[in-house]
Structure 1
């Protein structure tokens, strides 16, 4: 299926979750346009599209803006069903494993990666204040979340690697002969260890089956990419109309009617809210309509899982 507009990925090279989407695009052989965004706030061009959400990456198709890689995976699967990310009969298990990887595994591995030794390598070619700004930014994004100490994260990371290795004893990918959503979710934090904080990558050496699997994942590549600018992406949104929502089933869990002004926020990391008119609430996603001076009318989409919906009181 050909998308109605080019796939535009707003990302930056060091972002683990962006690597997840870049590999899915390569796996599905979908051409895409690359907009490099800042690693830290402010991100005015991105926020012009999202209305507040600032996590990375974001997928844009015309005037439709998709937040969170779990939802982006669903969108890519709809556009290009084969090769599937959700193979039968393990699709439920694959989704559960992916959710674990996006949360528990990711938080553990990144707590290990971003210890002082890893940060020193990551920011070795920039002024010291850049590392300080990164730490302050991520601390603000994770306010209220428990933080693992590097020693605890190292122990947990080793346990996770042994379990992943067990899964790969008799198969090339986590659930079989082909990569699925579980593989794409488990790979990015380990990729960061291996490629961005490689001074810490010896932790992988005790599980060669995991390293071999990582090689197979990396070989999927990123597909056909061309550079695009943030200005061009905003112009695409302004010149487009959001895709039709006809046929979307309304599933109400909050007593909030369609047409209400609402805010959607992540439950934990990166809680900056996006406000807009609730125009869809399906079994799996929320859609907000919002108007931006530069981007025009856009629909911003969030997955239900991991996000909260709240009505905005009338002034």
Structure 2
């Protein structure tokens, strides 16, 4: 049983709680989206590598970073987190009216192709040696081993190929910025935040390799504009308190108007697993409560976190029925 603490009493069940760690690129994407919206949030630092007992208590297995928690509702993947923040605070928008579909398409490219090119370059053997040079012995090896586990069965770009692709992608971003301050116009949107975070990882976490950005000064200026947005206002919270908040809360009910989109022949109420398609494929298991046009929701019970609803985007995730 988790004892209640003053931090829990000071937090409402509708507060935003971001589970992240400072060096996570996808967490930087989420932090900037929170800043763009001017939102107040609680910051929970989680381990960079497994084990992550408090994360798993909330998700049942999913361990990628970041997570957004609102009471007993847990939202996985920054693509879904963006939708949740847009619903929470519509202005300023993440998805511009004039380019809704385009902004999502660019963001998906940035979160996949651009991201892996950046990682292949920034965490190449030379890059990793620079990045982990000042850390305690063994920390770099532990990080590399953990990420190798998450990448099982993935086909990765070799460092030389990643470097070539990264340079090309940077030129494409520069072309998009030729006559406007942001990728799709005069104000930032989801495309900007998704394209920014892989470059931020290179520039911030491995400055010894950041000279690859120098050939595209428009991109560097764009990065400075985005960094100036900041992360909104946050305060620190312990992961134990966040788990306790989930336990004390009741998940939001599934809305009656949410249409069941059955693409798998798996009825609602079935026991299922959900996992990412490629990277970090640990499964979360629970009862399927919703399968809408854009997301899945499962209900699960944990001895520490109580009953929670865990939400995933449909795109990029695999739904399977658990056979008796």
> TM-score range with shorter-chain normalisation?
over 0.9
Report SS of the residue matched to 1:263: strand
Partner of 1:106: 115
How far does residue 121 in structure 1 lie from its aligned partner after superposition? 2.9
In the alignment, what sits opposite 1:19?
28
Contact conserved, 2:13 with 2:245, CA < 8 A, in 1? no
Secondary structure of the residue aligned to 2:138 is helix
> Counterparts of 1:224 and 1:137 in 2: how far apart (Å)?
31
The separation in 1 between residues aligned to 2:310 and 2:80, in whole angstroms, is 12
1:128-139 maps to which residues of 2 (within 5 A)? Answer: 128-139=137-148
**In the alignment, which of 284, 290, 301 is matched to residue 300 of structure 2?**
290
Q: Would you say 1:54 and 2:63 are equivalent positions?
A: yes
Structure 1, unmatched stretches of 5+, are none
Matched, 1:236 2:242: no
User: How many angstroms does 1:132 deviate by?
Assistant: 1.1
**Deviation for aligned residue 1:131:** 1.1
1:83 is matched with which residue?
92
Query: Is there any run of 5+ residues in structure 2 with no aligned partner, and where?
Result: 1-11
Q: Does the 8 Å CA contact 2:286/2:300 hold for their aligned counterparts?
A: yes
Shift of 1:118: 2.1
Alpha-carbon distance in 1 for matches of 2:125, 2:143: 13
Q: Distance in 2 between matches of 1:163 and 1:313?
A: 46
- TM score, norm. by length of structure 2: 0.95
1:301 to partner: Cα distance? 0.1
Q: Is the 8 A contact 1:19 1:188 kept in 2?
A: yes
Q: Confirm or deny that 1:300 pairs with 2:300.
A: no
Q: Deviations over 1:28-79 (max 9, x none)?
A: 0010000000000110000000000000000000000000000000000000
Matches within 5 A, 1:1-315: 5-247=14-256, 248-314=258-324
Q: Moved runs in structure 1, 4+ residues, more than 3 A?
A: none
- Counterparts of 2:14 and 2:144, CA distance in 1: 37
Q: How many residues align?
A: 312
The answer on whether the counterparts of 1:63 and 1:298 sit within 8 Å (CA) in structure 2 is yes
Shift of 1:148: 1.2
Partners of 1:212 and 1:106 in 2: CA distance: 20
Instruction: Tell whether the 8 Å contact from 1:118 to 1:200 is kept in structure 2 after alignment.
Output: yes
Give the root-mean-square deviation of aligned CA atoms: 1.0
**Aligned residues of 1:117 and 1:199 also touching (Cα < 8 A):** no
Q: Which moved more, 1:135-144 or 1:116-125?
A: 116-125
Give secondary structure in 1 for the equivalent of 2:182: coil
Q: TM-score, structure 1 length as denominator? A: 0.97
